[in-house]
Amino acid sequence: MAEAIFSRGRKAVCKLLEWEWWQLRDGGRRYITQRKVIRPSIVNKRSTDILHDPWYNKGTAFPLTERERLGLRGLLPPRVMSVQQQIDRFMANFRSLERNTRDGPQEVAALAKWRILNRLHDRNETLFYKILIDNIQQLAPIVYTPTVGLVCQNYSGLFRRPRGMYFSAADRGEMISMIYNWPAEQVDMIVVTDGSRILGLGDLGVQGIGIPVGKLDLYVAAAGINPQRVLPVMIDVGTNNQQLLDNPLYMGLHRPRLEGDEYMSVIDEFMEAAFTRYPDVIVQMEDFQSKWAFKLLQRYRRQYRMFNDDIQGTAGVALAGVLGAVRAQGRPMSDIAKQKIVIVGAGSAGLGVVAFMKQAVARVLGNNSPQVQNADNFWLVDKDGLVTLARENIDPEVKQYARSVHDGLQEGASLVEVVRHVRPDVLMGLSAVGGLFTQEVLEAMKLSDCPRPAIMPMSNPTSKAECTAEQAFKHVGPHIVFASGSPFQDVDLGDGKTGHVNQGNNMYLFPGIGLGALLSGAHQITDNMLHAAAECLAGVMDEESLKTGIIYPPIPEIRCITAKIAEAVVKAAVDEDVAEGYRQYDHRDLRVMAESGVLLNFVERHMWSPEYSSLVFEK
Ligand SMILES: NC(=O)C1=CN([C@@H]2O[C@H](COP(=O)(O)OP(=O)(O)OC[C@H]3O[C@@H](n4cnc5c(N)ncnc54)[C@H](O)[C@@H]3O)[C@@H](O)[C@H]2O)C=CC1
Ligand SMILES: CC(=O)C(=O)O
Ligand SMILES: [Mg+2]
C-alpha cells in the first residue's frame, strides 16, 4: 500500500524552480518539481564550432549578447531573428518547394522535401523539432511513412552524414567497445532494425537505417524524448536483395544475410553491448522479418526492457481502431467479443494483431470461453488463402488461429470467398500487397452483417496499401469506417459529405509505450502495459467523432495523446508492481502520484520540448 496523502502544496525554491509537495500521513514529505526550467547550457566551444554544432546552433536567432560572448559577432547576418521568424522563413521555402515540384514526378517532390528537412536537422536540431512538432500532420508523411520508405530505397545515393550507429557481422567481438564510440552519456531510446523487412518493401539491407531515424524523430516530436538521448541503430548482417548486392555503390556488407545461430549471436552481442553501456535504455525492434521478429521478442522480452513495434505496437493500434469501429456502430467496446474479423497477412503484424485482439476478447469473455480458445472471432488469410487446421506443415505460431474446415470454408479459400462467406465486421490488411482488396473483395464487403463495416488496409507505404480510401468508399459504400497505415486524403462523397480517413499506424502508440516504460522504470514491458496503452488510445475518442467515422485522434494532437498513453502505461506498471521508478522518484513516489491523479503532470514535465537555452561558455 502506498502512503496516504495528508495534504499537498507548492513551494517556490528559487526564481526558476517550484516544488509540489505532499505531506504523508506517516509524517514524511515528498517533492516533485512543478515548473519546467530551461537551464543554461554550458558549452566549451566557440565561434564556427558552435555554428556547426546542430545541438547548440541557433543560426540567425543568436542574441547579440551571445554573439559577443561566443565569438560569433560578424559570423552571422546582423539582424537577430525570433524563432517564429525562423520558422516562417523555413516554411516559406518549404511551400515554394512544394509549388515548384507540384507538376513533376511525386517521388522527386517527396525526396526534395525530405532533403530540406534533413538538412535543417543537420544544421539546427532545435528548430527542426520545433517545426516538426508544429507541423506534424504535414511533415510526418515525409520523415515517416510513406516518404521514409522511398528514402530507404535510395539511401545509398542520399547518404551525406551518418546519423545513428552501424553494427555489422564484421564487428563480432567488438560491439561492447564500439558502443562507447557513441558520444551520449545517457541514451533513453534505441530503435534498431536489421533492414530485413522495411515497411512492405522487403529486404533493404543497411539502407533500412532510415526507419530507426524516422521512428526516433517521432519519439522526439510526440513523446518529448530528448534528441540527445536517442540512438538509431542498424545491424547489418548482409542482405538477400540481389539488386543491392549487384550495386557497387551499395553501402552495406556485400554478402548474403547471416542465418541461424550466427545471426542470433550477432543480435545477442548487440543487445548485451547496448544494455551494458545503457542499462536503463529501452530498445524498440523495428522491421525485422517475421521469422526473426517473434524469436527475438520471445528471447529478450523478460531479460531486457524492449518491445517489438511491428508485433506489439501495431497490435495495440489495430485493437484501438477496432474498438473505435465498434463504438462507431453505436455499441459498447465489450462488443468486440461479437465482431467477425478477417485479417489478411499472417506475418509479424497480422499475428501480433490477432494475438492481442484474442486477449482483448478474453478480457470480456474469460480465458476459458470456447470462443476464445478456438479464436472464433478471427479468420486469418495469408498468401496461400484461408489458414485452416487442414494446412500441411503449418507454422505453430499460425496454427493457434487456424479455422476448422467444418466451418464451411475450405483450406486455402480465397479472400473473396472468405469475405462472402463470413460477412465480416472488420477487414484488415497486413499483407504488404498493394491492391489486394480488389473491387470484387470490396464489393463482397457490402454483404457484411455490420451496419458500419471497417476497412483497414494497414500495409505501408502507400503503394502497398491493400486499397485506397477512394476505392473503399466507392466499392463498399459511404457508411464504412476507413483506416489505412499510410495517410490518404479524406474522400468527397458528394452532397457535402466526407468519407473520413483515419491513419491506423503504430505511430499513435509506440511513442507512448516507450515514454511510459521509461518513466515507470519497469524492467519489462508487460502485456498489461500494452493493453493499457491501447485502451487509453481507444478511450480518448468522443462519441461525436466516432459517429462520423473518426476512430483515431487528429495527428496534430499526437503529443498530448502520447502523454496520456504514457500516463496509462506508467499506471499499469504501478498497478502490476513492476514500476521501479525514474531518477529521484522511486516506485512509492510513482504510486503516490498515480493515486493522487498527478501522473499526467509528471509525464508532461519530463517531456523535452525544443527551446533555445542560453549558452554559457566555459573553457
Ligand atoms: N500500419 C501499421 O502500423 C503497420 C503496418 N505494417 C505493415 O504490415 C505489412 C506486413 O508486415 P509483416 O507482417 O511484418 O510482413 P510479413 O512479410 O512477415 O507478412 C506478410 C503476410 O502477408 C501474407 N501475404 C502475402 N501475399 C499475400 C496475398 N496475396 N494474399 C494474402 N496474404 C498475403 C504472407 O503470407 C504473410 O503472412 C507491411 O506492409 C508493413 O508495412 C507493419 C507494422 C505496422
Ligand atoms: C508502421 C510500421 O512500423 C511498418 O509499416 O512497419
Ligand atoms: Mg515497422
What CATH number is attached to the domain comprising 46?
Answer: 1.20.1370.30
Residues 6+ apart with CB under 8 A from 123: 54, 57, 59
- Ligand 2 centroid to residue 65 C-alpha, Å: 46
- Ligand 1 centroid to residue 344 C-alpha, Å: 8
Does the pLDDT of residue 313 top 80, yes or no? yes
Q: Which of 319, 602, 289 is nearest to 456 (CA)?
A: 319
- Ligand 2 centroid to residue 145 C-alpha, Å: 8
Q: Would you say 374 is a known binding-site residue? A: no
Does the pLDDT of residue 240 top 50, yes or no? yes
Q: Which of 556, 563, 570, 508 is nearest to 534 (CA)?
A: 508
Q: Using CA atoms, how far apart are residues 535 and 322, in angstroms rounded to an integer? A: 11
pLDDT of residue 16: 45
Does the pLDDT of residue 166 top 80, yes or no? yes
pLDDT of residue 40: 87
Single pTM value for the model: 0.94
For residue 39, give Cα distances in angstroms to 70, 216, 582, 612, 614: 18, 24, 20, 10, 8
pLDDT of residue 406: 80
On whether both 188 and 335 belong to a single domain, the answer is no
In the sheet that holds 501-503, the strands lie side by side as 385-386, 378-382, 341-344, 426-429, 454-457, 481-484, 501-503
Nearest residue by C-alpha to atom 3 in ligand 2 = 310
Q: Which helix (H) or strand (E) holds 490?
A: none
Known catalytic residue at 552: no
Nearest residue by C-alpha to atom 17 in ligand 1 = 347
- Ligand 3 centroid to residue 198 C-alpha, Å: 7
- Ligand 2 centroid to residue 460 C-alpha, Å: 6
Assess whether the C-beta atom of 145 lies below 6 angstroms from ligand 1. Answer: no
Over residues 290-311, mean pLDDT: 97
Does the pLDDT of residue 603 top 70, yes or no? yes
Residues 6+ apart with CB under 8 A from 555: 136, 137, 140, 503
Sign of the Cα torsion 233, 347, 561, 302 reads negative
- Ligand 2 centroid to residue 150 C-alpha, Å: 14
pLDDT of residue 2: 46
On whether both 347 and 471 belong to a single domain, the answer is yes
Confidence of residue 407 (pLDDT cuts 50, 70, 90): confident
% of the chain surpassing 90 pLDDT: 90
In the sheet that holds 5-12, the strands lie side by side as 5-12, 18-24, 29-33
On whether both 287 and 212 belong to a single domain, the answer is yes
For residue 495, give Cα distances in angstroms to 435, 475, 603: 28, 18, 44
On whether both 57 and 116 belong to a single domain, the answer is no
Assess whether the C-beta atom of 549 lies below 6 angstroms from ligand 1. Answer: no
pLDDT digits (tens, 9 = 90+) for 534-593: 999 999 999 999 999 999 999 999 999 999 999 999 999 999 999 999 998 999 999 999
161 in any annotated domain: yes
- CATH at 397: 3.40.50.720
Does the pLDDT of residue 12 top 70, yes or no? no
Q: Which of 204, 307, 310 to mutate to test the pocket of ligand 2 (most atoms within 8 A of CB)?
A: 310
Q: Using CA atoms, how far apart are residues 79 and 60, in angstroms rounded to an integer? A: 7
Structurally, the chain folds into a number of domains equal to 4
241 in any annotated domain: yes
Omega cis (within 30) before 227:
no
Q: What is the secondary structure of 191-225 as a DSSP string?
A: EEE-SSS-TTS---GGGGGHHHHHHHHHHHHHH--
On whether both 283 and 341 belong to a single domain, the answer is no
Confidence of residue 121 (pLDDT cuts 50, 70, 90): very high
Q: What domain range includes position 112? A: 86-304
Assess whether the C-beta atom of 418 lies below 6 angstroms from ligand 1. Answer: no
Q: What's phi and psi for 513, nearest 5 deg? A: -65, -45
pLDDT of residue 286: 98
pLDDT of residue 426: 98
Nearest residue by C-alpha to atom 5 in ligand 2 = 199
Q: Which ligand is nearest to the CA of 321?
A: 1
333 in any annotated domain: yes
The DSSP secondary-structure symbol of 10 reads: E
Q: Using CA atoms, how far apart are residues 599 and 464, in angstroms rounded to an integer? A: 40
Catalytic site residue from 215, 340, 358, 571: 215
542 in any annotated domain: no
Ion ligand 3 residues within 5 Å by Cβ: 286-287, 310
pLDDT of residue 30: 64
Q: Which of 312, 343, 380, 382 to mutate to test the pocket of ligand 1 (most atoms within 8 A of CB)?
A: 382
Among the candidates 505, 532, 558, a domain finishes at 505
Q: In the predicted model, what is the mean pLDDT of the chain?
A: 94
Q: Using CA atoms, how far apart are residues 139 and 103, in angstroms rounded to an integer? A: 20
- Ligand 3 centroid to residue 165 C-alpha, Å: 19
Over residues 139-150, mean pLDDT: 98
Q: Using CA atoms, how far apart are residues 186 and 181, in angstroms rounded to an integer? A: 13
The DSSP secondary-structure symbol of 7 reads: E
Omega cis (within 30) before 332:
no
Q: Using CA atoms, how far apart are residues 425 and 587, in angstroms rounded to an integer? A: 43
On whether both 341 and 441 belong to a single domain, the answer is yes
Assess whether the C-beta atom of 485 lies below 6 angstroms from ligand 1. Answer: yes
Does the pLDDT of residue 18 top 60, yes or no? no
On whether both 77 and 98 belong to a single domain, the answer is no
Given the CA of residue 145, which atom of ligand 2 is nearest to it?
Answer: 1
Does the pLDDT of residue 255 top 60, yes or no? yes
Among the candidates 274, 304, 334, a domain finishes at 304
**What is the per-residue burial (b if ≥16 Cβ within 10 Å, else e) of 509-527?**
bbbbbbbbbbbbbbbbbbe
pLDDT digits (tens, 9 = 90+) for 45-73: 999 999 999 999 999 999 999 999 999 99
Does the pLDDT of residue 247 top 90, yes or no? yes
Assess whether the C-beta atom of 349 lies below 6 angstroms from ligand 1. Answer: yes
- Ligand 3 centroid to residue 107 C-alpha, Å: 21
Given the CA of residue 461, which atom of ligand 2 is nearest to it?
Answer: 5
Q: Which ligand is nearest to the CA of 346?
A: 1
Residues 6+ apart with CB under 8 A from 606: 224, 519, 582
ipTM tops 0.90: yes
On whether both 448 and 464 belong to a single domain, the answer is yes
Q: Which residues line ligand 2 (CB under 6 A)?
A: 145, 199, 287, 309-310, 460, 485, 505-506
pLDDT of residue 1: 38
Assess whether the C-beta atom of 319 lies below 6 angstroms from ligand 1. Answer: no
Q: Using CA atoms, how far apart are residues 45 and 67, in angstroms rounded to an integer? A: 13
For residue 52, give Cα distances in angstroms to 46, 57, 338, 472, 613: 10, 7, 59, 49, 17
Does the pLDDT of residue 297 top 70, yes or no? yes
pLDDT of residue 21: 65
Q: Would you say 425 is a known binding-site residue? A: no
On whether both 322 and 413 belong to a single domain, the answer is yes
524 in any annotated domain: no
Q: Which of 211, 308, 464, 484 to mutate to test the pocket of ligand 2 (most atoms within 8 A of CB)?
A: 211
Confidence of residue 31 (pLDDT cuts 50, 70, 90): low
Q: Which of 143, 144, 145, 215 to mutate to test the pocket of ligand 2 (most atoms within 8 A of CB)?
A: 145
Over residues 73-97, mean pLDDT: 97
- Ligand 1 centroid to residue 346 C-alpha, Å: 7
Known catalytic residue at 113: no
On whether both 223 and 339 belong to a single domain, the answer is no
pLDDT of residue 15: 44
Q: Which helix (H) or strand (E) holds 349?
A: helix 348-365
pLDDT digits (tens, 9 = 90+) for 188-198: 999 999 999 99
Q: Which of 327, 329, 413, 342 is nearest to 377 (CA)?
A: 342
Helical segments of 414-481, H only: 415-422, 439-444, 469-475
Q: Using CA atoms, how far apart are residues 337 and 344, in angstroms rounded to an integer? A: 19
595 in any annotated domain: no
Nearest residue by C-alpha to atom 4 in ligand 2 = 199
Among the candidates 81, 107, 137, a domain finishes at 81
Confidence of residue 20 (pLDDT cuts 50, 70, 90): low
Residue 28: burial class (beta carbons within 10 Å; 0-12, 13-18, 19+) = exposed
Given the CA of residue 313, which atom of ligand 2 is nearest to it?
Answer: 3
556 in any annotated domain: no
Q: Would you say 194 is a known binding-site residue? A: no
Given the CA of residue 505, which atom of ligand 2 is nearest to it?
Answer: 1
- CATH at 158: 3.40.50.10380
Catalytic site residue from 129, 144, 250, 508: 144
Extended strands (E) in 119-204: 165-168, 189-193
pLDDT of residue 35: 57
268 in any annotated domain: yes
Over residues 507-530, mean pLDDT: 97
Q: Using CA atoms, how far apart are residues 210 and 193, in angstroms rounded to an integer? A: 10
Nearest residue by C-alpha to atom 25 in ligand 1 = 383
pLDDT digits (tens, 9 = 90+) for 428-464: 999 999 999 999 999 999 999 999 999 999 999 999 9
Assess whether the C-beta atom of 432 lies below 6 angstroms from ligand 1. Answer: yes
pLDDT digits (tens, 9 = 90+) for 338-383: 999 999 999 999 999 999 999 999 999 999 999 988 889 999 999 9
On whether both 256 and 353 belong to a single domain, the answer is no
Q: What's phi and psi for 132, nearest 5 deg? A: -65, -45
Q: Enumerate the β-bridge partners of residue 8.
A: 22
Over residues 33-54, mean pLDDT: 84
Q: Would you say 287 is a known binding-site residue? A: yes
Integer Rg of the chain from CA? 25
Extended strands (E) in 495-587: 497-499, 501-503, 581-582, 585-586
Residues 6+ apart with CB under 8 A from 306: 271, 282, 283, 284, 285, 297, 300, 525
Q: Which of 26, 217, 42, 12 is nearest to 125 (CA)?
A: 217
Confidence of residue 130 (pLDDT cuts 50, 70, 90): very high
Cell 502507400 -> residue:
462
On whether both 357 and 456 belong to a single domain, the answer is yes
